[in-house]
Amino acid sequence: MPPEPPPSDWQFPPPDTADEHGLVGIGADLEPGTLLSAYRRGMFPMPLSGRRPIGWWSPDPRGVLPLDGLRVSRSLRRSLRRYEVHVDRAFDEVVAACADPTRDGGWITADIRTAYGRLHRLGWAHSVEAWDVETGELAGGLYGVQIAGLFAGESMFQRGVDASKVALVGLVERLTAAGAVLLDVQWQTDHLASLGAVEVARDDYLELLADALATPAARLGDG
């Protein structure tokens, strides 16, 4: 594992104190130690409406994508040939694309971009990118946080057909090879459900999380 940052100055409430929307608390900071503490307790940050302040969320049910349950359609298999998948070649560019303010439901603030950039440079946050084989350009990707056998997905984007899906396929392949056991997608959407994501109760998610945090896994990254 990467080196541990200084511990957080904040104490999070238990996840089961969340309200009906999954909100556990508001405030704190986005220091590396705070972010890692939240993920280890089953929470993640996302601003409230208006992009401020930061809320800490533990939804019930929780979206996860079983690593052995990814659905790859025939058309997606064709798209796999259009892209090369790499890890951590363009982390900041991936986060910037995910943070595009013109996207519907955009929530990634400058503070969040800075915070995850710090996590990336410490070795905890990773991007998985789909590069167009013909143009050599970044066509899509995703980013998230890996702690032992957990990968907590944060956001994805695409500029080319199926590019974000191809990045997800690449992520699942690499997590499986690394020995990871849990891919957290936060909330299930129709898009993620079509790829195999399922919903689990919060208590079940916390059990899966405990197992994942106790599971040694190689770090993502191929340059």
Q: What is the CATH number of the domain that holds 54?
A: 3.30.70.3550
* Domains: count for the chain: 2
Residues 81 and 178 in one domain: yes
Residues 53 and 67 in one domain: no
Mean pLDDT over the full length of the chain: 94
Residue 6: other Cβ atoms inside 10 A: 9
- Residue 210 makes CB contacts below 8 A (sequence gap 6+) with none
- Residue 118 makes CB contacts below 8 A (sequence gap 6+) with 32
Residues 112 and 41 in one domain: no
Residue 127: other Cβ atoms inside 10 A: 29
Model pTM above 0.85: yes
User: Which pLDDT tens digit goes with each residue over 52-107?
Assistant: 789 999 999 999 999 999 999 999 999 999 999 999 999 999 999 999 887 766 78
Residues 187 and 203 in one domain: yes
Domain that holds residue 96: 63-213
Residue 133: pLDDT above 60?
Answer: yes
Residues 119 and 208 in one domain: yes
1 pLDDT band, cuts 50/70/90, is confident
E strand or H helix at 94? helix 91-98
Residues 137 and 164 in one domain: yes
Strand partners, 132: 83
Residues 69 and 47 in one domain: no
Model pLDDT, residue 29: 96
Model pLDDT, residue 132: 98
Residues 36 and 67 in one domain: no
Q: What is the CATH number of the domain that holds 143?
A: 3.40.630.70
Model pLDDT, residue 219: 93
SS3 of the chain: helix, strand, coil, percent, to 5: 35, 25, 40
Four-CA torsion 11, 12, 13, 16, nearest 10 degrees: -150
